[in-house]
Amino acid sequence: MEQRIDIDWTACEGHGLCAELLPERITLDEWGYPLVEGTPVPTGTIKRARRAASDCPALALKLRVRQPT
C-alpha cells in the first residue's frame, strides 16, 4: 500500500519544520507554506516522514495510506 503526505491546510501555520525534516519531499513556497511531492513516499523515507508528521507543531501533516489506482 502506498503512503502519501497530506497537509491539512486549515491547520498548517507555515512553520516550515517539515521541509527541514524531509527536504527531498517538501519545499516551501514564498510564504513558507509546504509544497509537497505528491507521489508515494518511498519505503526508505517512511520513518522520517512519520517523524515530520509527529513533529509538526500544528499536527497538520499526515501520512495517508491509499490504495494504488
Binding residues vs ligand SF4 (CB under 6 A): 7, 12-18, 34, 56-58, 60-61
Smallest distance, ligand SF4 to C-beta of residue 50, A = 13
Q: Which is nearer to ligand SF4, 31 or 69 (CB)?
A: 31
Under 8 Å between Cβ of 63 and 21? no
Residue among 2 and 13 whose Cβ is closer to ligand SF4: 13
Cα separation, 56 vs 17, whole angstroms = 7
Q: How far is it, in rounded angstroms, from Cα 69 to Cα 67?
A: 6
Cα 9 from Cα 6, distance rounded (Å): 9
Distance of closest approach, residue 12 Cβ to ligand SF4, in angstroms: 3
